[in-house]
């Protein structure tokens, strides 16, 4: 657990793998959560069994960083209202942390941020992992209208849509409690940024190796979103997780991390 200062904001993040040692990592995986979320939107295994297994397999020197965007989780700030502004923030995070080769793993909003950065073609970008996201992310007007007026009810509705058939009530309620910690204003900014996002016509400009992960029961970003990304991004692989919804990474962590491991192992051979 650590903090860094970016602008006027104190940013919380968790680092693991080679990030915890004096040995410089060859690849840093930066995990970017979705709208209203936090680092808790990713499997807890990333910080324990998964990162240790990567080291045991000698798949390069890999570090992982799970951060809270400004205004989310344990980070201070007001959040942002455009994908470009969030992309600027991630670029600054990479710079402040002196990361050299970065794989951006983005969920939903985080995927949009990752796509935006890929289109800028920064020298540090080594790959993308796009989870439950799309090249266009329209948000229903009712969500945009109600997230500030009735935050708890709207968050409950989103969580009911966000999980697949195998998700436990405990997992759904835990996700709801975590999302409610984000202020209505920040949540609205996230959804507004997503709704304005559209890079459909520019995907052919993305050249870095990419893994696209969809869930069969995702009602918010259905598999067709992921398949479109796979068809349009030249150097990409596609992974479909069955019996999972939008929060697939925490619903089916073993399946998600298996796909991520395979992608990183192939990337290490390039």
Distance, CA of 215 to CA of 249 (rounded, Å): 9
Query: In this model, does residue 181 exceed pLDDT 90?
Result: yes
CATH number, domain with residue 152: 3.40.50.1820
Q: 121-151 pLDDT, tens per residue?
A: 999 999 999 999 999 999 988 888 899 999 9
Mean pLDDT for the stretch of residues 72-78: 96
Query: What is residue 25's predicted lDDT score, i.e. its pLDDT?
Result: 58
Q: What residues have CB less than 8 Å from 174, skipping those under 6 apart?
A: none
The predicted model gives 162-170 an average pLDDT of 96
Percent of the residues in the chain that have a pLDDT greater than 70, as a whole number: 94
Task: Give the pLDDT band (50/70/90) at residue 20.
Answer: low
**Helical H runs in 97-168?**
109-120, 141-149, 151-162
Predicted confidence (pLDDT) per residue in 195-242, tens digit: 999 999 999 999 999 999 999 999 999 999 999 999 999 999 999 999
Collapsing DSSP states into helix, strand and coil, what is residue 172?
helix
**Domain span holding position 120:** 2-268
Q: Please give the torsion angle defined by the CA atoms of residues 179, 16, 267 and 114, in that order, rounded to the nearest 10 degrees.
A: 30
Q: Does residue 60 have a pLDDT over 80?
A: no
- How many domains does the structure of the chain reveal? 1
Q: What was the pLDDT predicted at 109?
A: 98
DSSP state of 204: G
Q: For residue 244, what pLDDT is reported?
A: 98
Shortest CA distance to 208 belongs to which of 126, 137, 132, 91? 126
């Amino acid at each position: 657990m650590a903090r860094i200062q970016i602008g006027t904001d104190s940013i919380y993040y968790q680092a693991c793998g080679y990030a915890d040692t004096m040995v410089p990592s060859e690849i840093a995986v930066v995990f970017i959560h979705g709208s209203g979320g936090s680092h808790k939107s990713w499997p807890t295994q990333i910080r324990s069994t998964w990162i240790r297994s990567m080291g045991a397999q000698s798949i390069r020197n890999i570090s992982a960083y799970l951060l809270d965007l400004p205004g989310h989780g344990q980070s201070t700030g007001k959040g942002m209202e455009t994908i470009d502004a969030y992309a600027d923030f991630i670029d600054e995070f990479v710079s402040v942390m002196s990361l050299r080769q970065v794989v951006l793993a983005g969920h939903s909003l985080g995927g949009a941020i990752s796509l935006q950065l890929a289109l800028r073609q920064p020298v540090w970008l080594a790959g993308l992992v796009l989870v439950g996201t799309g090249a266009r992310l329209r948000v229903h007007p009712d969500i945009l209208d109600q997230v500030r007026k009735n935050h708890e009810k709207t968050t409950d509705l989103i969580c009911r849509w966000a999980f697949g058939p195998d998700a436990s009530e405990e997992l759904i309620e835990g996700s709801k409690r975590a999302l409610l910690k984000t202020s209505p204003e920040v949540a609205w900014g996230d959804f507004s940024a997503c709704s304005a996002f559209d890079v459909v016509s520019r995907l052919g400009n993305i050249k870095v190796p990419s893994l696209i992960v969809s869930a069969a029961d995702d009602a918010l970003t259905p598999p067709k979103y992921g398949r479109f990304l796979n068809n349009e991004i030249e150097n990409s692989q596609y992974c479909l997780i069955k019996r999972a919804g939008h929060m697939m990474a925490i619903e089916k962590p073993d399946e998600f991390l298996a796909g991520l491991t395979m992608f990183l192992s192939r990337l290490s051979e390039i």
